[in-house]
Amino acid sequence: MHRRTALSVSTALLLAAPLLSACSGQAHPGTAAVVGGERITTSALQAQMNDVRAAQNRSGQAAAELIANTPRLDRLKLGSMLQSRIIDKMAATAGVSASTKEIEAERASYVEGVGGAEQFEAQLLQKTATAPDQADRFLRDRVLIAKLTAKYGNGQLAAPAAAAAKALDIEVNPRYGAWNAAQVQLGDVETPWITQKTRPQQPPAGA
């Protein structure tokens, strides 16, 4: 079985700041970030946040805790969106891709590992603030990361990630945090995919 990253992501975030300005100094109203010359709109970011909050609110007694654990969901989701764009760029450069069949196989592996589809969706929501309808993107990233790791070596993704991020010329609206080009991350939002880890073991029953 190929190696995968753990279902983990940091929620450590920075304080809010003013709006993003381009290199020209012109403001970008309604823009959360610019990646490779393309905008990630605030409405697209808000839609992802709404999906997560809706999923959290459906979690019964766990809802309040899930919401409390993601106080700055906007920065967390934007960091995830930026990570996916970087992974796509790395994959394109490396000449690797993720097919629908591979993504579904990845899903089946995770579902089997945690004891069912509901458990997988619950863990995804709890540990990565990913709503069920966002799971395909998460799984696609995992497939690509595994292929990139096979190409570059375990723990050797930092350099190609930095090169991809530089090529994308990422700008982030400062209200969501500062883009750290050296660390290839949004503020303090960690990128565990750079340091490749093995797939976590199946959790104890009831976890």
Give the pLDDT of residue 29: 74
- What's residue 188's pLDDT? 63
Judge whether 26 lies within some domain.
Answer: no
- The answer for 184, left when phi > 0, alpha when psi is -120 to 50, beta otherwise, is left
The SS3 assignment for 155 reads: coil
Assess if residue 7 is contained within a domain: no
Calculate Rg over the CA atoms of the chain: 17
| 18 part of a folded domain | no
Confirm whether 136 is domain-assigned: yes
Tokens of 55: 């999923």
Is 204 contained in some domain?
no
**Does residue 20 form part of some domain?**
no
> Which range of residues forms the domain containing residue 134?
31-186
pLDDT digits (tens, 9 = 90+) for 7-64: 433 222 222 222 232 333 334 679 999 999 999 999 999 999 999 999 999 999 899 9
In a domain, 128, yes or no: yes
Residue 15 lies in a domain: no
Q: How many domains does the chain have?
A: 1
Question: What does pTM read for this prediction?
Answer: 0.79
- In percent, how much of the chain has pLDDT > 70? 77
